[in-house]
Amino acid sequence: MHSEREGSIAQTTRPEPSGGGPRASNPEQAARALVHYSYAILHMPDDVFSHAYNILDAGRRFFEQPLEVKTQRRSAADDLEGYRSFGEELDPETGLEDLSEGFAVWRRNQHSEDVRRWARSCELHGLMSNALDAYATLAEDILSALRREVAQEDGGAAAGDINIRALSYLQQNYYRPADHAGDGRANVMEPHEDGHVLTILKPTAPGLAVSPRELIEPPTPENRLGVYGPPTGYLDIDLGPREAIVIPSTPTALLTGGLVKPLWHGVRNTGSKRRQSLMFFVNPDPAFSCRPWVRNRIFAKYDIHEIIDIMSSNYGKTSISQVM
């Protein structure tokens, strides 16, 4: 995914672009910000914010438990569901461990009897599972608005909405940055892109830095992802308590004919005692076709499902096609 290796996030920052800015208070404004800035800072709808607040609150209690208690919350029914211990996710470029533990809840398991039975007494799993529909509705609203926005920019009618209900999931990461202040790691998460159609991310502490990248070499049969230009400098993102950042990746660029650039991002180690992040990762359902909304010479040929599947295995985890 990266065109070159990066040890840490460069300390340069870019000036805030002029105009309306990336802040958005509804899906339409978020879509506009994605086209113009390649990210949006969204004032979360009340229902989604309320879910996120309760999940992060329960997450603090969950992750402070002893390891042997937490490992019991790894699902035997599905190895992507539930608790992920420290160091299991790897940065695809450097191979460095992400300095976090995590907990994931997939929408495709929401009605699985096996998973429900296993998760019955887990407060965190219940709260995250109950939030999936509200998050999915928000993601659908942003993607519909984005489809309309790029159709306008493209001057034509775009293809239909995509189905994201089956394979999207919520993940919470839990960091202890202060514990790693002396180990030579400038970042608690190295710069990367997520590889989903969208990510809706809410962190509890500063440290997030972002940089959109340009595609400089189209994909080839040997390199299905293409090559992206170097970062032009990372911008530190400060979010208010009610705000989340909407992050596009390569699949978003493919859908939008390159109008939305993939957003590389990482997390600096600011030395805080703890840091949580809650992400809704949005994937299209492979059972439905997912054609690019904008058909131009470079982007029209992509199989978006294939690209997402390749990217889903880049973090040391099972790829999407293998878990279905």
* Residues near Fe ion, by CB under 5 A: 194
Question: What is the nearest approach in angstroms of Fe ion to the Cβ of residue 117?
Answer: 31
Question: What is the nearest approach in angstroms of Fe ion to the Cβ of residue 194?
Answer: 4
Q: Return the number of the residue (140 or 194) whose C-beta is nearest Fe ion.
A: 194
Q: Return the number of the residue (104 or 158) whose C-beta is nearest Fe ion.
A: 104
Taking CA 248 as the corner, what is the angle to CA 245 and CA 251, rounded to the nearest 5 degrees?
A: 160
For the sheet with 243-247, list strands across it.
Answer: 23-24, 40-43, 243-247, 198-203, 275-282, 169-175, 100-106, 82-84
Q: Return the number of the residue (89 or 149) whose C-beta is nearest Fe ion.
A: 89
Of 226, 195, 164, 169, nearest in space to 311 by CA: 195
Rounded to whole angstroms, what are the CA distances from 82 to 33, 63, 70, 71, 169? Answer: 33, 12, 9, 9, 11
CA distance 295 to 140: 21
What letters, b where the CB count within 10 A reaches 16 and e where it falls short, cover 247-264?
bbbbbbbbbbbbbbbbbb
Q: Return the number of the residue (264 or 293) whose C-beta is nearest Fe ion.
A: 264
Q: Return the number of the residue (204 or 257) whose C-beta is nearest Fe ion.
A: 204
Q: Return the number of the residue (194 or 285) whose C-beta is nearest Fe ion.
A: 194
| Cross-strand bridge partners of residue 19 | none
Question: What is the nearest approach in angstroms of Fe ion to the Cβ of residue 27?
Answer: 21
Question: What is the nearest approach in angstroms of Fe ion to the Cβ of residue 192?
Answer: 6
Question: What is the nearest approach in angstroms of Fe ion to the Cβ of residue 147?
Answer: 23
Q: Which residue is nearest to Fe ion (CB)?
A: 194
Q: Return the number of the residue (226 or 248) whose C-beta is nearest Fe ion.
A: 248
DSSP per position, 191-212: EE---SSEEEEEESSS-EEEEE
Question: What is the nearest approach in angstroms of Fe ion to the Cβ of residue 263?
Answer: 9
Which residues does 86 contact at the CB level (< 8 Å), separation at least 6?
Answer: 97, 99, 100, 101
Question: What is the nearest approach in angstroms of Fe ion to the Cβ of residue 175?
Answer: 13
Residues 249/264, Cβ–Cβ less than 8 Å: no
